[in-house]
Amino acid sequence: MGPFKIADNIYWVGAVDWNIRDFHGYSTYEGSTYNAYLILDEKITLIDTVKDKLFDQFISNIRQVIDPRKIDIVISNHTEMDHTGSLPRFMHIIGKDKPIYCSKMGKKNLSLHFGDGFYYIPVADGDKLTIGKRELMFIETRMLHWPDSMFTYIPEEKILFSSDAFGEHYATSRRFDHEVDEDELFKQAKKYYANILLPYSNLVLKLFEKVKKLNLEFNMICPDHGVIWTKHIGKIIDLYVKWAEQKPTKKALVVYDTMWHSTEKMAETIGEALNKEDIEVKIMSLKSWHRSDIITELMDAGGLLVGSPTLNNSIFPTISDFLTYMKGLRPKNKLGAAFGSYGWSGEAPKKVEEILREANFEIIAPALKIQYVPNSNGLKQCEDLGKQMAEKLKKLN
Ligand code: FEO
C-alpha cells in the first residue's frame, strides 16, 4: 500500500501486514497494519515507524512523499517493536544525530532496545513542541499499554496520534473508518480492547477524565493499528468507556475442552440449562475457539463456567493456557464456576476453581466433578449448575 494523504501535509506512511495470524498470542485473522505518520512542516516530523520486517514498504512510502533525509524529527509514541522495529535502520538513513522525542520511560526503554547511540529527547506530560505552523502536544499515557506509551496531539487540526489506543488488528487497503465495513471494524476494535487494553481499564477511565478537563476535541484519531477514526469518533470513545467499566451483562460463557466427550456433555447440558432460563450463552470448546476470541466474548459476559477433564492429576493443557491468558487480562465483575469429568483422581475442577478465585471471580457453586461418563444423575447436577448461574445473572441490573 502506498502513502496516503490524510490531511493537508500529513501522510500515512505505514505498512499493511496482510498475512499475520498471530500477534504475541492474539489471533489476527484479519491481519494488521502498523501506522506511521509524516507531517510536512518547517520541521519535517515522523510519528512512529513499523515492524522491522516491513521496513521496505515503510521507507518506500516515505520516499514517494519526500527524501527521508529531509526528516528533522522523529516522535516515538511507544517502544514496542511493532512501532520501533524499523527505527534503527531508519535513523541510519536520516541521520543518527536527529532527535527522537519520546516519554521519559520511552528514553529508558528505547535505550534498552536499541542502545544509547541515538539522540533521545524525553518529554513530559503536557510538553509542547513547535514544528512550524503546528505545535505538537504530548500526553503521557503511562501503562496504556506500556510504561513508555504517550499520545501526540495537534491542537490546530484537532488530530490525535493515539499510539496503540483505539487500534484494531485489521488489514485493509482503506485508511478511514467510514470506508470499511462498520460491523467488522467494531468487532475488531472490541477484540483489540479485550486483548490489549482490558487490564488497564481503570487507567482508560482516568485518561478520559483528564482529556475532558483539557477540553481536547478530535477531528481525527490516528492509531498505530487499523483505520483512522473520523466518522465514528464519538461511538468508539463511548465504547471504550463501556468496555473499561466492564459492567456485567446477563450473558454466560461455557468454556471447556474434552478428552472422551464427557466434559463436553457436561458443558452442553450446562449451556442448555442457561438457555432454557433465557440467558444468552456461548458454548466454546478450546478445540475450536482461540483464547483471544473467548476473551472478547468474556469482556461483557457476567458469568463464566470452565470445564476441564483431569489429565495426569492436573488441568487439561488448553484450559491451563486459557486460564493463564485470561487471568493476566484481569477481567472484572464476573461470576464463575468449574466443572469436569475425571477417571480416578479428579483434581482439575477444583484447581480451575482456585484459579478463578485468584482472578477475583465470585464462585457461585462448588466445583462439579463427574467420574468417567455423566449418567442421568450427573447430567441433572450439570443442569442445576446452569440454573444456579442463570439465577445469579438474572439478579444483575
Ligand atoms: Fe502496537 Fe504495544 O504495540
Distance CA 240, CA 204 (A): 8
Q: Is-catalytic flag, 145?
A: yes
- pLDDT of residue 1 exceeding 90: no
Q: Is-catalytic flag, 192?
A: yes
Q: Is-catalytic flag, 169?
A: no
- pLDDT of residue 298 exceeding 90: yes
From the CB of 225, is ligand 1 less than 6 Å away? yes
List pLDDT tens digits, range 233-286: 999 999 999 999 999 999 999 999 999 999 999 999 999 999 999 999 999 999
SS3 4: strand
Q: Is-catalytic flag, 181?
A: no
Number of C-beta neighbours around residue 319 at 10 A: 26
From the CB of 83, is ligand 1 less than 6 Å away? yes
From the CB of 164, is ligand 1 less than 6 Å away? yes
Who's near 382: CB < 8 A, 6+ residues apart? 265, 266, 269, 270, 273, 339, 368, 370, 374
Which three cell numbers, joined as nine digits, stand for 288? Answer: 475450536
From the CB of 265, is ligand 1 less than 6 Å away? no
Q: Is-catalytic flag, 178?
A: no
- pLDDT of residue 397 exceeding 90: no
Is there a cis peptide before residue 145, judged by omega within 30 degrees of 0?
A: yes
From the CB of 177, is ligand 1 less than 6 Å away? no
From the CB of 48, is ligand 1 less than 6 Å away? no
- pLDDT of residue 60 exceeding 90: yes
List pLDDT tens digits, range 24-45: 999 999 999 999 999 999 999 9
Which three cell numbers, joined as nine digits, stand for 153? Answer: 496531539
Residues 1-9, mean pLDDT to the nearest whole number: 96
List pLDDT tens digits, range 64-104: 999 999 999 999 999 999 999 999 999 999 999 999 999 99
Residues 284-300, mean pLDDT to the nearest whole number: 98
Q: What pLDDT shows up at residue 187?
A: 98
- pLDDT of residue 57 exceeding 90: yes
Measured in Å, residue 82 CA sits from the centre of ligand 1 at 6
Which residue, 126, 45, 132, 49, is CA-closest to 86?
49
- Burial of residue 344 (number of CB atoms within 10 Å: 0-12, 13-18, 19+): exposed
Choose the catalytic residue: 17, 48, 82, 264: 82
Residue whose C-alpha cell is 472484572: 332
State the greatest distance between any 2 C-alpha atoms of the chain, in Å, as a whole number. 78
Choose the catalytic residue: 83, 145, 169, 232: 145
Which residue puts its alpha carbon closest to atom 1 of ligand 1? 164
Q: Is-catalytic flag, 113?
A: no
Choose the catalytic residue: 192, 193, 240, 342: 192
Residues 352-368, mean pLDDT to the nearest whole number: 98
Residue 49: alpha-carbon gap to chain centroid = 19
- Identity of residue 251: K
> Read out DSSP for 209-240?
HHHHHTT---SEEE-SSSPBBSTTHHHHHHHH
Who's near 371: CB < 8 A, 6+ residues apart? 341, 342, 343, 344, 346
List pLDDT tens digits, range 308-349: 999 999 999 999 999 999 999 999 999 999 999 999 999 999
SS3 293: helix
Who's near 84: CB < 8 A, 6+ residues apart? 48, 49, 76, 78, 110, 113, 114
* Contact status, residue 170 vs residue 226, Cβ threshold 8 Å: yes
Q: pTM score > 0.85 for this model?
A: yes
- pLDDT of residue 220 exceeding 90: yes
* Contact status, residue 233 vs residue 285, Cβ threshold 8 Å: no
Distance CA 140, CA 121 (A): 14
Which residue puts its alpha carbon closest to atom 2 of ligand 1? 80
List pLDDT tens digits, range 103-150: 999 999 999 999 999 999 999 999 999 999 999 999 999 999 999 999
Helix orientation angle between 201-213 and 233-245, rounded to the nearest 10 degrees: 130
Choose the catalytic residue: 164, 177, 268, 277: 164
Q: For a pLDDT cut of 70, what percent of the chain falls above it?
A: 100
What are the backbone angles phi and psi of residue 286, rounded to the nearest 5°? -75, -5
- Mean pLDDT taken over the chain: 97
- Identity of residue 53: K
Inter-residue long-range contacts of 156-159, CB under 8 Å, 24+ positions, other chains counted: 157/7, 157/8, 157/10, 157/219, 157/220, 158/216, 158/217, 158/218, 158/219, 158/220, 159/7, 159/10, 159/218, 159/219, 159/220, 159/221, 159/222
From the CB of 250, is ligand 1 less than 6 Å away? no
Measured in Å, residue 83 CA sits from the centre of ligand 1 at 7
Which three cell numbers, joined as nine digits, stand for 264? Answer: 463436553
What are the backbone angles phi and psi of residue 138, rounded to the nearest 5°? -105, 135
Residues 170-194, mean pLDDT to the nearest whole number: 98
**Of ligand 1's atoms, which has the minimum distance to the CA of residue 167?**
1
